[in-house]
Structure 1
Amino acid sequence: MKMLTSTEWIARFLTTDPPRSKSLVMTIFGDAIAPHGARLWLGSLIELVAPMGVTDRLVRTSVFRLVQEGWLVANREGRRSSYALLPEARPRFERANRRIYAPPGLNWDGRWTIVMAPNGSIDAGLRAAVRKELAWEGYAMLAPGLLAHPAADPAPLAEILDRIKGSGKVFVCSAAELPDAGSRPLGELVREGWDLSGVVADYRRFVDEFTPLLAVLREEPELAPEAAFVVRSLLIHAYRRVQLHDPMLPLELLPEPWPGSEAYALAQAIYRLAWQRAEAYLMDVLRKEDADAPDADAGFYDRFGGLR
């Protein structure tokens, strides 16, 4: 059976699973623009996403909506517009990036983070916001007003509660299993609180879609810069879409083998093969409109365990 070329793989992927324009723009900002000063001209963005089937009109609609939703801020100079990450949105991008580029599995000490909001302690609007934001962080609602997560990072929790005006209004504590108290193992709460079947299926689908691409990249002697940028962007877009629904539980509590580990290794391998030529293309595009567009910051090179 004849192996696909990278150009053929890209065309097939864009036909079978075309990315939504607004979501793709978010991916581009998080993966490509944030390390380069978090700002670019609209014309550069249009050029970057055009090879992925996103039209000028769709780009303009996407950035308009992202400004309205509090992700981007627009600036106008004469007839040109630029867009940058809103400072208030940067912690959310940074949190997402830590999840995307860091290996799965946490050094778990057996403790859980518990967030409690007893009936009547907060109003319905704040209760809904707490549940929505913490669900995105991987918390499970174990009972009304009771959310929990093993090995949760306290810094994002503090940032979330501050942003939604919940600081000082809910109870937060750390808890561990009490020995000799006749308790079920706390690890069994995973089966009670999280339905992982969808995440497992999505990881397996990602592996099936991108394993052929890795074989292609290992065979092709040199990937064209534009194709490398498209590959890198589609990879992170697809991986992000799955991974941000993963509650990021410690590996000790997950079924074995956990497909998230295989998906991470695959994404890491593809990214490492594409990133340098993708960066060359990105900088060429950015510097057409901004000769002073900065090189990637130091944190960029820590992605996927190190890119240098």
Structure 2
Amino acid sequence: MRTSDVWRSVGAATALAALAVVSGCTIQPAGPPGASPAGAPPSAGAPPSAGAPSSAGASPPAGRSPGDAKPPDSAGQPAPKVLWSPGDRGGGVRELQARLRQVLWLYEGPTGTYDASTVYAVKGFQGKRGLPRTGTTDSVTWQRLLGMTDEPGKWDLYASGGQPAAKPDPRCLTGRVLCISKTSRTLRWMIDGRTVSTMAVRFGTEYTPTREGVFDVYFKSRHHVSTLYDSPMPYAMFFSGGQAVHYSADFAGTGYYGGSHGCVNVRDEDKIATVFSQVRNGDKVVVYW
């Protein structure tokens, strides 16, 4: 090679080196397209690669603070509170039963006891409205029932009896007495001021009212049938004209949704049968408010 050619090659190499320094580039081994040079930091503002975790200082989603837990989904919500379940007793159960009667899911009672009939009625009500058929009354079931029914009145709550008896009239405190309160709709069988038995009763309607006052039992008839209405009057104890204390299958079946023709109806056959066996002709009957 001639001396001029050598100097020409050295000058070209020097020019290339100077250009590299000015541009900031260095000679790197070839790599895949887009690969960063070994050891070089990523360019400022470059987006992270797909799937890469966000940096520790990344901002949380709108509406959430750093450290907030992910909101639970519907599957994680607590179960509704159970208000009444089988075996429970009391006024709340009585109201539940009265409301179930309004929507025709229950035909008995109310009794104030969460029995098998109540479980069956609650399951039917729940299933009809797409609720879990548990048979127990939870807060969701109760709210649905409240929205479909009216507040029960006193005699809706005690349609088939079970109400507390009124205080005995003073005229009931001596002797042997059938002490009958129209206010509480109860009968006390009393002997010398002591209550032997208590039972629910109903009276005549507006057009055939039960008479009030002090009377005596004058006739008893175990298998009596009314000559006026041709209806059975078992365990009848007559005290005023054609009016008597007796068992009523209609009262047992429909409760206070019906009425008598003036007699004092009793719904508990076992109780009235026992009292019938103890009462004598001449025993006192007191009907009072």
- Of Structure 1 and Structure 2, the greater helix share is in 1
TM class by smaller structure: under 0.3
| TM-score w.r.t. length of structure 1 | 0.22
- Of Structure 1 and Structure 2, the greater strand share is in 2
> Which structure would you say has the larger RCO, counting Cα contacts within 8 Å and 6 or more residues apart?
1
**The structure with more radius of gyration:** 2
